Structure 1
Amino acid sequence: MWSVLWAAVRSKAPYVTFPVAFVVGLVGSQLERFLRGDPPPTAQEEKSISEQREDRKLQEIVGEDVTKVVSLKDKLEFAPRAVLNRNRPEKS
């Protein structure tokens, strides 16, 4: 008789173990929630570093006239000397 009972339990094991595991997990979850108390408030979604930088740049531009730009000739005038010529004495 025991062999027939064990064979039946073995063949129906998934149908028995899933509800038991579900109930044990549910009880454990509720017990943990009871012992820990209320969950901490979730942090609000923060902006990424690149988004913060873009916002800051946009705020800087708001008061400026964006049509006035420095010409390329003026930019080339202030170009640094080549790296290899830095340590050489300048020819007069």
Structure 2
Amino acid sequence: MKEEDVLTAKMIESGELNRWKELLRLRLTECGWRDQVRLLCRDAIKQGNLEEMTVDQLNNEVTPKARQLVPDAVKIELLTKIKTFLQENTLQESQ
């Protein structure tokens, strides 16, 4: 099993992955990101032909803009938690 697979399994087994997902949802809601993305979706639907637009097309149009709207503070917080987890678990494996 590759080291990446082992770490992914540890993230899932420890519950960290779910905690990070919940933290991300909370932070994105707190900063208004979800509302902004909802508006982007509405605008995309209004500009396109609703009857012909698929979910995949909507996703392809909105996703790049939505990713740019994620505040740096949210990215940094989550990346710091992931980095700490990886450092702690990589060190434990090597001991």
State the structure with more CA Rg. Answer: 1
**Structure with more helix by fraction:** 2
Tell whether the structures are fold-level matches, with TM greater than 0.5: no
Instruction: Tell which has more relative contact order, 1 or 2 (C-alpha 8 A, sep 6+).
Output: 2
